[in-house]
Amino acid sequence: MGSSRHHVTDVLSEPRVIVGLDFGTTYSGFAYAHVTKRDDIFTHYNYAMVGGEKPYCKTLTGSYYKEQGGAGSRNWVFKSWGYPARAEFERDFQAVRRHRINSKKNAAGVGLEDPIKPSLGHYITRVKLHLAPPKSGKLSATALPEGLKVEQVITDYLREMGKLILKTLQQNYGEQLTKQAIQWCVTVPSIWDNSAKQKMKSFMVAAGLVDGVDGSPHPLVIVLEPEAASFHCHKTMNETHLQAGDKLLVADIGGGTADIVVQEVISTEECYRVKEITKSSGALCGGTYVDARFVDFLHERIGPCLKECMKQNPSVYTNLIKRWEEMKLSFGDPSTKDESMDINLPNRLVSDWEKYDTEKGGPLRDNYDDLEVSYADMQRIFDPVIEQNLQLINEQLVRLKDNVKVMVVVGGFAGSQYLMDSIKKRFAGRVSHIISPPNPGSAVCQGAVALALDPNVIVSRIARKTYGFLCVRPFEEDNDKPEFKEWVDGVAKCNNRFSIYVRKGDPLDVDHCISKTHKPVYTGQRTMKFELFSSEDPNPRYTIGNRVEKEGEIIIDISGDAMLDKDRQVKLSLYFGRSILEVKAEAMNFMAGGKRMELPVEVF
């Protein structure tokens, strides 16, 4: 909840540079443009690399932490981020391993000098998945050690990314450029709830990128990832010839989430405008879930020794994933169809596996250095995750009776040839154009910049849930549950009613304001608290139930003028059609001589 849709003229001093920041599950990146050259949107590629990684439009969403004061202190210190974080973790692991070997030699009387014992920290990845809605699927987020919180990890990462972004902008536009000149746009999955979006906003504030003394004064723009991708593809791929009335489906399939949005083109002549026409959908079925299935495959093929090896040698897992990433991207190449692939195993795993087989007394392999992965094996690893994505797309097409002209596939996983071939094979007869832009991983951050420069592109959206507030209403003996009865000033009230503001499936213009007037419940009330709830049902009666969730709280200060007491009227206005819920409260009949006045609002 908060501000999300602002023209660059909404503040006294206009920003000079627009930055689109894509904080992803597996990889993160950014794009930028100067406001005087709106069509020149640049994607950053120059990230710190340490292990021979190929240049890419993003860096690893990974962070490395160590305990200050020794093991068990629970005081975690941020050490590095991106590719260097993984490399530092691996270096520390090797140092710890060498120390263990030397300690054993000393114990045996070899007489080696006992060096200071090195420590091994925690390498954190996939932290973004901790913000995913609980019902969106099985999480594959890295478990955080005790004392290290999600907000700290994401804030630290954003702070470091912000330093790189500012340095890059100063190199391009002059050292005099400061954060005050930047309009930040952060992309989020459309399946995120308002609470997760609000958390992302608070992380940007905590990282010192917006608000505060040194942060940008320009309101943070929250951009929905598939909408950004859609606009980017419109601007860069004109061969589809979209016209008013055409429908397009955008599938943003990244590392963690798959996000599906369907839009209808309203105009293309003087300006490009679209509206959402079905409720967006998605699930946790991005590329990291293929990675997880690959690890499961290794456990099945190698046996129990793999789990113990990774437990004792954490770098074994990171090395396996690095080698798997190359296999994953190359799978699906028509020239290698039906061919097997070999994965070179880390030395420690090789020795542990051979030792395990020897002790087990079974037949030994001819070679423990490599593991053959057949084409059928690769299909079994990929197909369940691919099928989840195909089902999400199919559900949207069924709603529209296949009346979709263009399907756009973007996101990091869209770089998989096997995924793209599977999508085309399944839907080629139902969609005229199935396309993926060059460098699909950069489509979201580039599109975020483009949307910030042209914020009127999205005209309306569809409510994903029913939204409303907890309210107190007169108790209805025939309709309300006895346990919800409460006496207030001598009157029977029902204290768990759901006051509906928008219903699931409602079309919502982005600038349409939904307002209701409220009065204090009890004498002498100084603040009004509204608890926002969402429901999968169109007409929930209560804020308690299996299909109802609390989204957050809004607190309005009404203490400025208490003369009218319980007759004070407060108008609460909400904009549900924007990328993040925005809130405004007004005093209708008190304060300022009876004139309407905006009231202080806090959102949690």
Is 247 contained in some domain?
Answer: no
Q: Is residue 240 part of a domain?
A: no
* Residue 174 to residue 39: CA distance in whole angstroms: 20
Q: Reply yes or no on whether the pLDDT at 599 is more than 80.
A: no
Q: Are both 498 and 593 inside the same structural domain?
A: yes
Of 170, 197, 222, at which residue does a domain stop? 222
| Domain shared by 344 and 201, yes or no | no
Three-class DSSP category at 495? strand
Average pLDDT, whole number, for the chain?
87
Assess whether 169 and 24 both reside in one domain. Answer: yes
Query: Based on the domain organization, do 299 and 215 belong to the same domain?
Result: no
**pLDDT score at 490:** 84
Determine, yes or no, domain membership for 50: yes
Which of the listed residues 349, 382, 415 is the one where a domain comes to its end? 382
**Which domain CATH number covers 336?**
3.90.640
Same domain, 473 and 375: no
The CATH number of the domain where 42 resides is what?
3.30.420
pLDDT of residue 4: 36
Do residues 45 and 152 share a domain?
A: yes
What pLDDT, on a 0 to 100 scale, did the predictor assign at position 301? 92
Is 58 in the same domain as 146?
Answer: yes
Secondary structure in 3-state letters for 400-447: CCCCEEEEEEECHHHHCHHHHHHHHHHHCCCEEEEECCCCHHHHHHHH
Indicate the SS3 state at residue 483. helix
Domain contains 245: no
The per-residue pLDDT for 373 is: 94
Average pLDDT (46-71) is: 85
For residue 599, the enclosing domain spans 463-603
Are residue 351 and residue 476 in the same domain, yes or no?
no
Q: What is the pLDDT of residue 115?
A: 59
Mean pLDDT of 135-150: 77
Residue 252 clears pLDDT 70, i.e. is over it? yes
**390 occurs within a structural domain:** no
Q: Would 103 be classed as within a structural domain?
A: yes
Question: Is residue 203 in a domain?
Answer: yes
Q: To 5 degrees, how large is the angle CA 243–CA 248–CA 252?
A: 140
Burial readout 579-588 (b: 16 or more C-beta within 10 A, e: otherwise): bbbbbebbbb
| Number of compact structural domains in the chain | 3
User: What pLDDT was estimated at residue 6?
Assistant: 36
Residue 359 banded pLDDT, cuts 50, 70, 90: confident
Residue 262 three-state SS: strand
**Where does a domain end: 382, 399, 432?**
382
Report pLDDT for 107: 63
Helix (H, G, I), strand (E, B) or coil at 204: helix
Separation CA 585–CA 228 (nearest Å): 30
Instruction: Verify that 25 and 133 share a domain, yes or no.
Output: yes
Neighbours of 111 (CB within 10 A): 8
Question: Is 132 in the same domain as 52?
Answer: yes
Place of tokens 């004064």: 217
Q: Tell me, what CATH number does 577's domain have? A: 2.60.34.10
CB burial of residue 519 (10 Å; 0-12, 13-18, 19+): middle
Same domain flag for 76 and 190 = yes
Q: Is the model's pLDDT at 112 over the cut of 90? A: no
Shared domain check, 506 and 373:
no
pLDDT in tens, 562-585: 888 888 888 889 999 999 888 888
Q: CA-CA distances (angstroms) from residue 360 to 301, 311, 351, 453, 522?
A: 15, 20, 14, 65, 75
- Asked if residues 173 and 17 have their Cβ atoms less than 8 Å apart, the reply is yes
**Tell me: the pLDDT tens digits for 85-102?**
999 998 888 887 777 777
Q: Give the pLDDT score at 239.
A: 54
**Over residues 42-66, mean pLDDT:** 89
- Within a domain: residue 262? no
